[in-house]
Amino acid sequence: MTYFSSLIFQHSGPVLMEPATVPEKNLMKDENSPNHPTAKCKRGQWANKREFILAVIGEIIGLGNVWRFPYLCFKNGGGVFLVPYVLILFTCGIPLFFLEVSLGQLTGQGAITCWREICPLFGGLGYGNQIIMLYTVMYYIVILAWAFLYLFSSFNTELPWASCNNTWNTGTHLCYNGSFYGYMNKNATSSVKEFWQRRVLGLSAGIEEVGRIRWDLAGCLLLSWIICYFCIWKGVKTSGKIVYFTATFPYVMLVALLIRGLTLPGAEDGIRFYLSPDHTRLADPQVWMDAGSQILFSYAVCSGCLPALGSYNKYNNNCYKDTFALCTLNSLTSFVAGFAVFSVLGFMSHELGVDIAVVAESGPGLAFIAYPQAVAMMPLPQLWAAFFFIMIIFLGVDSEFVYLEGLVTSISDIYPSFFFTGHRRKLLLLVLCGVSFVIGLLMVTEGGLYVFLLFDYYACSGMPIMFFAILESISDPYYNKIKEMIGYHPSSYMKYCWKFLTPFVCGILLFSLVKFTPLKYNNTYQYPWWGYAIGIFLVLSSVLLTPLWFLYGMSTLRSELQFVIDCLHVKNSTDNVAGPLYLWFISSCIFLYIMGYNHHK
């Protein structure tokens, strides 16, 4: 055992000891360990393996599977996009997923304290994860508010976004009457887009004009928070039961929408556009960057949620097999969802007589413009609209309350004797929900969409996740401890991914920022300078916590200095952690510089 790995599981704090005198603890026998049976009873535990599996399914299978992956596949060369997607899945997605779940299960701790167990100076990594999760919780739930408003509107005798004589219509819109869109002119917009922008959002000209709160959206936002609160108010005792329904019901809706889509005229054209391979796109760096960002986002790695969910497992749960099963299901769901989406877009393209590229959308544009426009053309449009938005709501609610559970777990584990006593955990949850609701009101104003996009573009994707993925990848020294849990060593491939492949690939993806472009709404509206400053703050508020915590630890715990030197020294360590990281990090910089230079030439 190396000097570093002998210090990993010391619960007494960052006190240096000689390697020969460091006692190796059995986490199940140590009464102070959260994995000790008595501690587990106080903290809570999944009643069975199914609850853990369904909770993770609810977290990782969300809106990105339905509205982002299919569009990226279509945009980046159809079936060819699966090549970088699968490669990055096996070099980054699965290794990081397994690392986080196994770390939570091994330590029995949430995302903050589990990294302290690995190394006290890495506590900032856990705090940074929680900042990302907090931002995600705040903005992700706004999508549920939009979906609830659309769902309630679906119960009208006529879909409001399909009619032309509403107070929000401008008179210069396109209205579908069963066979064509009427009132055509070059400046016209569709009635469904006017419903989205003018009725639902009341969209202002920019973030400078925040405007009034949209009270119907605020009510839907409050409803969403109430649902999420009661889903987890008793911890895994309630959430473990609720996921039986919330994690499985979206599949029923997805299958229904898939069958309906495949029976529509033009569905074959849509699927052909979805999968038609364009091999030339493999030479485009953006295709690989899109694949990497989709993997890291859809697998919820580096957000701090997976360690929290894994921490409620039994100590000997086979999380290795769980990882491969869950990752396979996640990617297959994304792939199948593409058929459901593009069969309907093919139908809409067929009905309108336009190219499918004209109607294909990603993100909120797919869920709240393209798909509602398509269902308005179907028989029984209210039924299919309700089915679609029920699916969106369940996908969103499940991800939201599981993220919230991870956040509460991580905070509670910092002071377990305080938060696991009485009703203090419920009060913590109530405070988090209340504060997040108040901040979320800013995103349901007339300028709220611009704020929402800042969170989506800067805070919860891109650089922060890539940065944390690289740091997490150096944690392979606890690899040998996994055998104590599952009874055998995982494939050595996993260890070499953590040590070499994952930091290398993530380093390349991180330095894709040489092509970074500032956020623009609809490729037309440019944010003011202070809007971009807010975006940069959202990024740095999570990323800087790791180096700041490291420096704080160095300044207050001088006895850690030799520990850090031994951990990071390349020549004198046989199981060195940072050496391969530095090597691949520098290689990534050089590789991306050349790639970016050639691209700009």
- The domain segmentation of the chain, as residue ranges, is 3-175+201-600
pLDDT at 53: 96
pLDDT at 29: 40
3-state secondary structure of 292: helix
Average pLDDT over residues 444-458: 93
Q: Name the packing angle between helices 424-440 and 215-232 (round to 10°).
A: 160
Is residue 176 pLDDT above 90, yes or no?
no
Check whether domain 3-175+201-600 has CATH 1.10.3470, yes or no: no
pLDDT at 564: 53
In this prediction, residue 577 has a pLDDT band, given cuts at 50, 70 and 90, of: very low
Q: What does the pLDDT look like over 110-152, one tens digit per residue? A: 989 988 887 777 888 899 999 999 999 999 999 999 999 999 9
Known binder of ligand: residue 399? yes
In this prediction, residue 364 has a pLDDT band, given cuts at 50, 70 and 90, of: confident
- Strands, E, within 350-399: which ranges? none
Is residue 578 pLDDT above 60, yes or no?
no
Known binder of ligand: residue 318? no
pLDDT at 305: 93
pLDDT at 418: 87
Neighbouring CB atoms inside 10 A of 526's CB total 13
3-state secondary structure of 526: strand
Known binder of ligand: residue 58? yes
CA distance 188 to 6: 68
Percent of the chain with pLDDT over 70: 81
Is residue 28 pLDDT above 50, yes or no?
no
Known binder of ligand: residue 398? yes
Q: What does the pLDDT look like over 213-251, one tens digit per residue? A: 999 999 999 999 999 999 998 888 889 999 999 999 999
Which pairs count as long-range contacts for 572-581, CB under 8 Å and 24+ apart, including other chains? Answer: 573/2, 573/3, 573/4, 574/2, 575/2, 575/4, 575/5, 575/477, 577/4, 577/474, 577/475, 577/476, 577/477, 578/474, 580/499, 580/500, 580/503, 581/470, 581/473, 581/474, 581/503
The DSSP secondary-structure symbol of 519 reads: -
pLDDT at 88: 93
pLDDT at 333: 95
Known binder of ligand: residue 557? no
Is residue 585 pLDDT above 70, yes or no?
no
Known binder of ligand: residue 395? yes
In this prediction, residue 498 has a pLDDT band, given cuts at 50, 70 and 90, of: confident
pLDDT at 509: 78
Known binder of ligand: residue 542? no
| Least confident piece of the model among 354-368, 385-399, 526-540 | 354-368
What is the distance between the terminal CA atoms of the chain, rounded to a whole angstrom?
50
Pairwise pLDDT comparison (165 vs 31), residue with the higher score: 165
**Which positions ≥6 away from 254 have C-beta within 8 Å?**
66, 333, 336, 337, 340, 391
